[in-house]
């Protein structure tokens, strides 16, 4: 397992040498969405608290570092951490409201969606942050400003983010914290009766998850050079974040990565392909069909099924 991971990382590190520029772009999407999915996995997968509002953290992180860069000249390398902290604070607020007042299941889903929507509407109507037009970042190509001439740098940065989040999840899984999160997901009442401070661990999970997701916001802003409230705070982005771990296997360490390797190229290719034929939005139908398939045939996601298959092959 450890060797497989080392080999996989080595291959991913060497890959840009042989890839064309479009393929590199596809890989950047794979890594970036795997990173967001992995960050979501902590609260949504392990702790079982279904957030469908993670776009709020992406958006807040993105707006924070972009505003700091544009108006205060602060480098996004630091703005990234500030954005992470601001998102973590929002995570703490959402978590406090949800967990202190016992919102579980659908009610927690609604709470997270509501927060993302509130931020979307605020951003749309606040001229100070660009309103509906959003924010545009002038391209300078200066690495100190998180801007790179060469697409391959974004490749490595996004790969680094994915590995960072995966490392965090691996650490969590190996420690008591991870066991508590899984126990909370399996049976929160029983967990509480054992004297586990479930509120504290859920709070910790959402704060870490929001912090990482907020960092992702900076990558989003400084990779695309523009931010629009509808795309960065919108429900579609939240769905993109949630769907990868679910398809790949939520609450598993490789689930979000596997899910992103399946879905991100599919999304990218179908978007390009269908929009050429005038079928804009068709990729969402492909998503829908795939999700139905996963729910029907692989309710725990692709990773657990793949693992069983590999174990059987190995004998």
Partner 1 sequence: MSTLLRLEGIEVGYGDLTAVREVSLEVRTGEVVALIGGNGAGKTTTLRAITGLLPVRRGVIELDGQRLDGLSPSRIVARGLAHVPEGRQLFPTMTVRENLELGAAGREARARRHETLEWVFRLFPRLQERNRQLAGTLSGGEQQMCAIGRGLMARPRLLMLDEPSLGLAPVVLKTIFETLAEINRTGTTILVVEQNVARALALSHRGYVLENGRIALSGSRDELLASGHIKQAYLGL
- Which of 55, 48, 5, 107 lies closest to 246, judged by CA? 48
Touching partner 1, residues 232-291 (CB under 8 A): none
Round to whole Å and give the CA distance between 73 and 165. Answer: 28
CB nearer partner 1, residue 142 or residue 186: 186
Residue 35 beta carbon to partner 1: minimum distance, rounded to whole angstroms: 27
Residue 196 beta carbon to partner 1: minimum distance, rounded to whole angstroms: 5
Two tokens at 231?
């795309």
Angle at which helix 151-174 crosses helix 176-186, to 10 degrees, equals: 80
CB nearer partner 1, residue 180 or residue 222: 180
- Which of 261, 11, 9, 226 lies closest to 130, judged by CA? 226
Residue 146 beta carbon to partner 1: minimum distance, rounded to whole angstroms: 42
By CB under 8 A, residue 180 contacts partner 1 = yes
CB nearer partner 1, residue 150 or residue 186: 186
Two tokens at 274?
């269908």
CB nearer partner 1, residue 142 or residue 197: 197
By CB under 8 A, residue 305 contacts partner 1 = no
* String of contacts with partner 1 for each residue 181-200, x by CB under 8 A: -xx--xx-xxxxxxxxxxxx
* String of contacts with partner 1 for each residue 51-80, x by CB under 8 A: ------------------------------
- Which of 205, 219, 223 lies closest to 64, judged by CA? 219
Residue 177 beta carbon to partner 1: minimum distance, rounded to whole angstroms: 12
CB nearer partner 1, residue 81 or residue 182: 182
By CB under 8 A, residue 176 contacts partner 1 = yes
Two tokens at 150?
């060469």
* Placement of tokens 């899910």 in the chain: 259
Taking phi first (over 0 means left), then psi (-120 to 50 degrees means alpha), and beta for anything else, what does residue 239 get? alpha
By CB under 8 A, residue 146 contacts partner 1 = no
CB nearer partner 1, residue 179 or residue 298: 179
Residues with Cβ within 8 Å of 25's Cβ and at least 6 positions away in sequence, in order, are 151, 268
Which position among 179, 262, 286, 290 is part of the footprint of partner 1 (CB under 8 A)?
179
By CB under 8 A, residue 310 contacts partner 1 = no
In terms of Cβ atoms closer than 10 Å to its own Cβ (0-12, 13-18, 19+), residue 172 is buried
Round to whole Å and give the CA distance between 214 and 218. Answer: 7
CB nearer partner 1, residue 124 or residue 196: 196
Binding site for partner 1 (CB under 8 A): 176, 179-180, 182-183, 186-187, 189-200
């Amino acid at each position: 397992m450890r060797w497989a991971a080392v080999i996989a990382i080595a291959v991913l590190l060497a890959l840009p040498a042989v890839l064309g520029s479009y393929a590199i772009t596809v890989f950047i999407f794979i890594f970036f969405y795997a990173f967001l999915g992995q960050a979501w996995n902590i609260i949504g997968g392990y702790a079982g608290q279904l957030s469908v509002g993670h776009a709020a953290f992406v958006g807040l992180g993105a707006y924070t570092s972009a505003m700091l860069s544009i108006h205060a000249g602060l480098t996004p390398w630091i703005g990234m951490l500030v954005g992470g902290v601001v998102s973590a604070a929002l995570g703490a607020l959402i978590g406090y409201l949800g967990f202190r007042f016992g919102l579980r299941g659908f009610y927690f889903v609604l709470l997270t969606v509501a927060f993302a929507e509130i931020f979307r509407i605020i951003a749309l109507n606040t001229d100070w942050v660009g309103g509906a037009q959003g924010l545009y970042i002038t391209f300078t190509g200066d690495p100190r400003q998180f801007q790179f001439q060469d697409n391959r740098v974004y490749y490595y940065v996004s790969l680094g983010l994915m590995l960072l989040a995966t490392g965090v999840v691996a650490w969590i899984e190996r420690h008591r914290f991870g066991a508590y999160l899984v126990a909370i997901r399996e049976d929160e009442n029983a967990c509480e009766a054992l004297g586990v401070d479930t509120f504290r661990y859920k709070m910790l999970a959402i704060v870490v998850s929001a912090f990482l997701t907020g960092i992702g916001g900076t990558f989003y802003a400084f990779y695309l050079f523009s931010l629009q409230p509808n795309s960065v705070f919108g429900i579609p982005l939240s769905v993109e974040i949630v769907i990868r771990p679910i398809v790949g296997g939520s609450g598993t360490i490789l689930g979000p990565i596997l899910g992103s390797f399946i879905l991100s190229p599919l999304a990218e290719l179908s978007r390009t392909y269908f929009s050429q034929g005038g079928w804009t939005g068709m990729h969402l139908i492909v998503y829908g069909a795939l999700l139905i398939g996963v729910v029907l045939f692989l309710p725990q996601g692709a990773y657990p099924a793949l693992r069983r298959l590999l174990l059987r092959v190995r004998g």
